[in-house]
Amino acid sequence: MQKDNFAHKAAEWDTPSKKGMTDKFVKEMMLQITIHPQWKGLEIGAGTGLVGLQIAPYLKNIVFEDTSEAMLEVLKSKLGKDSPHEILHAEIFEYTKQDIDFVFSCMAFHHLPDIDKALKHINKIITKDAIIVVGDILTEDGSFHRFEPIHHKGFDLSKLMHQFIDAGFEILTAHSYNTLTRERTPGVFTDYEQFILVAKKI
Ligand SMILES: C[S@@+](CC[C@H](N)C(=O)[O-])C[C@H]1O[C@@H](n2cnc3c(N)ncnc32)[C@H](O)[C@@H]1O
């Protein structure tokens, strides 16, 4: 597995700004889909659970997947003793049961090395008509992560939609829903557009 690039961030991850950003993603996701209480969910790049724990009460259970042990440790500390949820400290390819009804991911896809490979694998582990919701940023100039290692400087939405289609999904919607303004260089404020893509297995 890759190095834990979030080890030094995990303890401080849950800032008001991150909570605000994930709240907006959850709100937009809930506008686009209807969650069913019998669904088994899978969150890719779940981090400290800022997204998944908001929707956990409406699902049967969730597999919280992430490659960062440190982020998952924070998430674990929030789960009760008798939690029905699972934590998967691994790359997505290590999940092979074909029982996932709903996949969601917020700001983690740009960390995945190979999107085509990931989408093809996701398509194999989901049930008929399963829904996938991905939130991330549109193509940016590299300033969003500046000196940190990153696989994708955001996404070209049209290209990403084609990648979903090639992997066996039908696009239900793909649109931008929020602008993040960040001061990555002192005194320089840059806007990063966030998008949501909702697709269904065909
Ligand atoms: C920007 S954080 C987002 C965390 C969380 N989704 C949120 O919105 O608060 C990206 C997350 O993706 C995880 N990640 C990075 N590479 C990954 C990979 N190859 N597979 C799964 N998760 C990965 C990181 O460890 C981190 O927790």
What pLDDT score was predicted for residue 184? 85
**Whose alpha carbon is nearest atom 12 of ligand 1?**
45
**Averages of pLDDT over each 10 residues, the chain, 202 residues:** 86 96 98 98 98 98 98 96 96 98 98 97 97 98 86 97 98 98 90 98 96
Out of 48, 53, 66, 92, give the residue to mutate to test ligand 1, the one with the largest number of ligand atoms within 8 Å of its CB. 66
Ligand 1 pocket at CB < 6 A: 6, 18, 22, 44-47, 50-51, 65-68, 71, 91-92, 106-108, 111-112
Q: Which two tokens stand for residue 8?
A: 């030094």
Cα distance between residue 21 and residue 157, in whole Å: 20
What pLDDT score was predicted for residue 80? 87
Out of 3, 111, 180, give the residue to mutate to test ligand 1, the one with the largest number of ligand atoms within 8 Å of its CB. 111
pTM of the model: 0.96
What pLDDT score was predicted for residue 31? 98
Q: Which two tokens stand for residue 58?
A: 């409406």
All domains in the chain, ordered by first residue: 10-201 (3.40.50.150)
What pLDDT score was predicted for residue 123? 98
What pLDDT score was predicted for residue 138? 98
What pLDDT score was predicted for residue 149? 82
What pLDDT score was predicted for residue 136? 98
What pLDDT score was predicted for residue 180? 96
Interacting residues of 3 by C-beta distance below 8 A, sequence separation 6+: none
The helix (H) or strand (E) run that includes residue 156 is: none
